[in-house]
């Protein structure tokens, strides 16, 4: 059951899940330093799986911060580890806010609606574009 929760799948949901996407988040996270997240993000958006799209944006942020040597990426690290690493850098306040948005979206009980996504998306995109 825990495994399904981590993947955002409700095994007790009887209605067909049109948002199901055949990607392995574990695989992406395991190889985050070399993973190509964009195709999965586009697929999630196309299938209106906005909860997954927010998670993928967050993974892209972690990936970009690591590539820019702002953080040291390790699979076993938590979001709190990354926040602590970047605490004294200019990106900290925005990353903290986006981490809270991501955690509420991914781990929260409510689905992320298209309207919710349209509100959150620009913040993630803007932050990704401005990581120097």
- pTM, 2 dp: 0.78
Q: Is 70 left (phi over 0), alpha (psi -120 to 50) or beta?
A: alpha
Those residues with Cβ within 8 angstroms of residue 26's Cβ, 6 or more apart along the chain or in another chain: none
Per-residue pLDDT of 4-34, as tens digits, reads: 444 444 544 433 343 444 457 777 777 776 7
Tokens of 70: 């702002």
Per-residue pLDDT of 35-62, as tens digits, reads: 788 888 999 999 999 999 999 999 999 9
Phi and psi at 59, nearest 5°, equal -65, -40
User: How far apart (Å, rounded) are the C-alpha atoms in residues 47 and 107?
Assistant: 20
């Amino acid at each position: 059951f825990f495994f399904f929760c981590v993947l955002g799948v409700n095994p007790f949901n009887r209605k067909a899940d049109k948002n199901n996407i055949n990607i392995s988040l574990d695989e992406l996270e395991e190889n985050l330093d070399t993973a190509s997240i964009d195709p999965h993000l586009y697929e999630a958006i196309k299938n209106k799986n906005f909860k997954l799209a927010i998670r993928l944006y967050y993974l892209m942020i972690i990936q970009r911060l690591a590539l820019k040597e702002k953080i040291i990426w390790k699979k076993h690290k938590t979001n709190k580890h990354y926040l602590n690493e970047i605490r004294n850098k200019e990106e900290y306040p925005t990353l903290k806010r986006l981490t809270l948005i991501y955690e509420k979206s991914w781990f929260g009980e409510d689905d992320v609606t298209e309207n919710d996504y349209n509100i959150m998306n620009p913040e993630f995109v803007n932050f990704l574009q401005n990581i120097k």
